[in-house]
A and B are shown apart, each in its own frame.
Chain A
Amino acid sequence: MTEHASLQIGDLAPPLELPDTAGRLTTLPFPGEAPATVVVWTSNHCPYAIAWHDRLMDVARDYAEQGVRTVHVNSNDPERKPADSYEAMQQRVRDEEWACPYLHDDSQDAARAWGPLTTPDVFVLDTDLRLRYRGAPDADYDDPAQEASWMRAALDAVISGGVPEPAETKPVGCSLKWKE
């Protein structure tokens, strides 16, 4: 497995400027613009990412009402995983109801800067774009009743100016598919 630096709790988020599936460049909000921001590394091919997907979309919808911004990012090498090509991402967004932009990290620079370990890997930032929660959406990919409870608790804490507890959980999923 390729090792890269990984963002730590309290770190300022690296810049993120990536195209969504319509080709629009998408960036993080300015500091103070959103009460919290969620960045989820995900993929099309991974059963863990798919199993959690609906829960993650529900969180994006529910918290958008409070001004929370959410983006999902796919950094996988399409040579290794054709299901993660830009075209496949576009098709997926056409076929499904996405509640947030799905960004394409073709160069894998964003993944190198943020250091996601798996798909999915959830990053919750506060209004100043500092990392406040990192890890899995909830305790069980196979149990929709979990409703991404860890992620929701982290967002509730951040929005109210508190500190998520725990701030970090072990991400569970497929490894990033780095270009060779």
Chain B
Amino acid sequence: MRAPRAPGGVLSAGVSLRVEVLWWQGCPSWEQAIELVRAEMAGAGLDPATLRVTEVQTDDDAGREGFVGSPTVRVGGVDIQPTEDEPTGLTCRIYRRRDGRVSPLPDPQDIRDALAAALTGDT
């Protein structure tokens, strides 16, 4: 069942939907990633201003944040394209787009699906 929601990325049940972008300055697409996620949040009826943006600056930061590459997008604490056994560190992340292409940016549909799943509680 779809949970009713209030503006600002906060579900009416009082549970915040935490949407995050973690980025490293060594990968030039981080600003595009933030724009992309904000656009998808707006499309999902969430307030893009609630996006949490975190710069990861050191390997220690990366380890602490579980950061496996830039950009990393999480919805409700869950990576939109989870990786297996990927080491944490300052690196650029490889995304596989739905048409099979490799890209430094996630597929917008993956973000859309992650937001929809979190908003419907289907995670």
Q: State whether B94 touches A174 (Cβ < 8 A).
A: no
Q: State whether B103 touches A172 (Cβ < 8 A).
A: no
A174 surroundings in chain B (CB, below 8 A) = 26-27, 91-92
Query: What mask results when residues 136 to 180 of chain A are scored 1 for a CB within 8 Å of chain B, else 0?
Result: 000001101000000000000000000000000000111100000
Q: State whether B26 touches A51 (Cβ < 8 A).
A: no
A93 surroundings in chain B (CB, below 8 A) = none
Q: B66 near A: Cβ within 8 Å?
A: no
Q: State whether A48 touches B92 (Cβ < 8 A).
A: yes
- Closest chain B residue to A82 by CB distance? B87
- Closest chain A residue to B69 by CB distance? A47
B78 surroundings in chain A (CB, below 8 A) = none
Q: State whether A142 touches B103 (Cβ < 8 A).
A: yes
B105 surroundings in chain A (CB, below 8 A) = 142
B26 surroundings in chain A (CB, below 8 A) = 1, 174-175
Query: What mask results when residues 55 to 69 of chain A are scored 1 for a CB within 8 Å of chain B, else 0?
Result: 000000000000000
Query: What mask results when residues 1 to 17 of chain A are scored 1 for a CB within 8 Å of chain B, else 0?
Result: 10000000000000000
Q: A46 near B: Cβ within 8 Å?
A: yes
A173 surroundings in chain B (CB, below 8 A) = 28
B104 surroundings in chain A (CB, below 8 A) = 47-48, 51, 141-142
Q: State whether B28 touches A50 (Cβ < 8 A).
A: no
Q: State whether B92 touches A51 (Cβ < 8 A).
A: no
B27 surroundings in chain A (CB, below 8 A) = 174
Q: State whether A47 touches B28 (Cβ < 8 A).
A: no
Of A47, A51, A141, which is within 8 A of B93 by CB? Answer: A47
A1 surroundings in chain B (CB, below 8 A) = 26
A24 surroundings in chain B (CB, below 8 A) = none
Query: What mask results when residues 80 to 107 of chain B are scored 1 for a CB within 8 Å of chain A, else 0?
Result: 0000000000011111000001111100
- Closest chain B residue to A50 by CB distance? B102
B28 surroundings in chain A (CB, below 8 A) = 48, 172-173
Q: State whether B101 touches A47 (Cβ < 8 A).
A: no
Q: Bound complex: CA of A45 vs CA of B102, how far in Å?
A: 11
Query: What mask results when residues 23 to 38 of chain B are scored 1 for a CB within 8 Å of chain A, else 0?
Result: 0001110000000000
Q: Bound complex: CA of A48 vs CA of B26, how far in Å?
A: 12
Q: Which of B41-99 contact A (CB under 8 A)?
A: 91-95
Residues of B within 8 A of A (CB): 26-28, 91-95, 101-105
Residues of A within 8 A of B (CB): 1, 45-48, 50-51, 81, 141-142, 144, 172-175
Given contacts A48-B28, A144-B101, A174-B91, 17 further A-B contacts (CB under 8 A): A45-B91, A45-B92, A45-B94, A47-B92, A47-B93, A47-B94, A47-B95, A47-B102, A47-B104, A48-B104, A51-B104, A81-B91, A141-B103, A141-B104, A142-B103, A173-B28, A175-B26
- Listed from nearest, the 5 A-B pairs whose CB atoms lie closest are A47-B104, A50-B102, A47-B94, A174-B92, A175-B26
